[in-house]
C-alpha cells in the first residue's frame, strides 16, 4: 500500500467511467458533497484518470491505465467479473480493488428463470411467428409441443448468490434442483442437493436443463465443450447467464445442429456483440439476449451502496472491504 494517507471526504475525487450507466446522476442525489466526474469512453477515461483517487469502472478498464493514475487508491468494479484486472499489478501499485458481486443477483437469477420458462413454453417461436403474422396451429407431434417444468431436473453450475436464488425460484416451479460448487461443504442452500465441481460429468446425464451461473476462471473456461455436451441428456436445454467463454461455442453449435441439444438460451457469447456471421443468430432453437441478464433499474444504486460502505471502512481505518479482491 502507498504510504500517503487516503484522501479525506473533502479532498476525494471520484471518476465514474461507463458507456451507459448513470452513476454520477445517482451519486449526486445522495448529497455526499464528494467531488466527482463522469466519462463515457476510453479516451475520456485516459484523459481524466490522472486526477482520480477512486475509479468506478468495468468494460472501459485496461491495465495500462495504472501508469497514468498516480493518485488512484481504490477501484470499484461496476461488474462482478474481475478477469480484466491484473491483480498482481494492483497489489504492486497499492491500489485496492473490489467488485460488484451480488448487486444484480436478483436480476440475473430472474433472467435465467425467464429463459428457462421461455424455452419450455417456446415463447421465442411465438415471437418469431408474431413477426411473420403467422398463427401456428395445434401440434400433433408430442415431442414438439410446449412443455411443463414440474418434475424435471435443473442442474445449476455454480451455486453462488445468483445460482442459489435461481434454485429458490426453480423450486417454486416444482423443478428438482441439483447444483455444483467448488466447496460443497458450504452447504446446498436452496438446492435439493449440492456436489463438487468435479462431479459435473456424472450429473449432466440427469439434467433436463443445465444453467450456467459460475464465474469465468481458468477452471471454467470452455467448461461446456464437446465432451461435456456429449454427457448431457438427449433433448436437454442449456442456459448461460455466466460468461461466454465458459462455453466452447463451435461445440455448442454442432450439438444444436445435430439435435443432441434441443435448445439453448444465451445471455453471453464468446465475442460480444455476437458477429453477424454466427450460425446462432438463425437457429430457431436458440434465444439470444445481449448480455442483459444483469440489467436492472436498481443497478447504479446497488453499486453505489458498496462504494459508500467501502469508503466509510477506509476512512475508519478498517482493513477489509466489501467484495474485496485486492
Cite the active site residues. Answer: 243, 272, 291
* Four-CA torsion 153, 154, 160, 161, nearest 10 degrees: -110
Measured between alpha carbons, how far is 28 from 287 in angstroms, rounded to an integer? 38
Q: Are 45 and 4 in contact (CB under 8 A)?
A: no
Alpha helices in the chain (DSSP H): 23-28, 42-48, 87-93, 105-121, 123-132, 161-172, 200-203, 226-231, 249-258, 299-315
Place of cell 436498481: 298
SS3 sequence of 101-167: CCCCHHHHHHHHHHHHHHHHHCHHHHHHHHHHCCCCCCCCCHHHCCCCCCCCEEEEECCCHHHHHHH
Residue among 284, 290, 296 nearest 123 (CA)? 284
Kindly report the backbone phi and psi dihedral angles of residue 214, in degrees, each rounded to the nearest multiple of 5, phi listed first.
-85, 160
CA distances, 279 to each of 163, 249, 252 (Å): 29, 10, 11
Close Cβ partners of 324 (under 8 Å, ≥ 6 residues apart): 96, 97, 98
Close Cβ partners of 3 (under 8 Å, ≥ 6 residues apart): none
Assign 307 to helix, strand or coil.
Answer: helix
Amino acid at each position: 500500500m502507498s504510504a500517503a494517507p487516503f484522501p479525506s471526504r473533502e479532498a476525494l475525487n471520484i471518476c465514474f467511467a461507463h458507456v451507459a450507466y448513470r452513476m454520477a446522476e445517482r451519486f449526486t442525489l445522495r448529497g455526499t458533497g464528494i467531488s466527482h466526474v463522469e466519462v463515457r469512453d476510453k479516451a475520456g477515461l485516459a484523459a481524466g484518470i490522472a486526477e482520480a483517487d477512486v475509479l468506478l469502472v468495468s468494460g472501459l478498464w485496461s491495465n495500462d491505465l495504472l501508469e497514468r493514475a498516480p493518485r488512484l487508491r481504490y477501484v470499484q468494479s461496476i461488474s462482478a467479473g474481475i478477469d480484466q484486472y491484473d491483480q498482481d499489478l494492483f497489489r504492486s501499485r497499492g491500489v485496492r480493488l473490489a467488485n460488484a458481486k451480488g448487486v444484480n443477483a436478483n436480476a440475473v437469477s430472474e433472467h435465467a428463470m425467464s429463459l428457462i420458462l421461455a424455452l419450455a413454453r417456446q415463447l421465442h417461436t411465438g415471437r418469431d411467428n408474431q413477426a411473420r403474422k403467422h398463427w401456428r396451429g395445434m401440434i400433433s407431434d408430442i415431442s414438439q409441443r410446449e412443455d411443463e417444468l414440474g418434475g424435471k431436473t435443473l442442474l445449476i453450475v455454480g451455486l453462488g448468490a445468483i445460482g442459489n436464488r435461481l434454485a429458490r425460484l426453480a423450486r417454486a416451479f416444482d423443478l428438482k434442483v441439483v447444483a455444483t460448487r467448488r466447496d460443497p461443504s458450504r452447504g446446498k442452500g436452496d438446492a435439493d442437493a449440492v456436489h463438487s465441481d468435479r462431479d459435473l460429468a456424472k450429473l449432466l446425464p440427469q439434467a433436463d436443463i443445465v444453467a450456467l451461473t459460475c464465474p469465468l476462471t481458468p477452471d471454467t473456461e470452455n467448461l461446456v465443450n464437446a465432451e461435456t455436451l456429449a454427457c448431457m441428456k438427449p433433448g436437454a436445454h442449456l442456459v448461460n447467464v455466466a460468461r461466454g467463454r465458459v462455453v466452447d461455442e463451435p461445440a455448442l453449435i454442432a450439438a444444436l445442429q445435430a439435435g443432441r441439444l434441443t435448445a439453448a438460451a444465451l445471455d453471453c457469447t464468446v465475442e460480444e456483440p455476437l458477429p453477424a456471421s454466427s450460425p446462432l443468430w438463425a437457429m430457431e432453437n436458440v434465444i439470444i439476449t445481449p448480455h442483459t441478464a444483469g440489467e436492472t433499474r436498481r443497478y447504479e444504486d446497488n453499486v453505489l451502496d458498496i462504494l459508500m460502505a467501502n469508503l466509510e471502512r477506509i476512512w475508519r481505518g478498517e482493513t477489509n472491504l466489501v467484495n474485496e479482491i485486492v
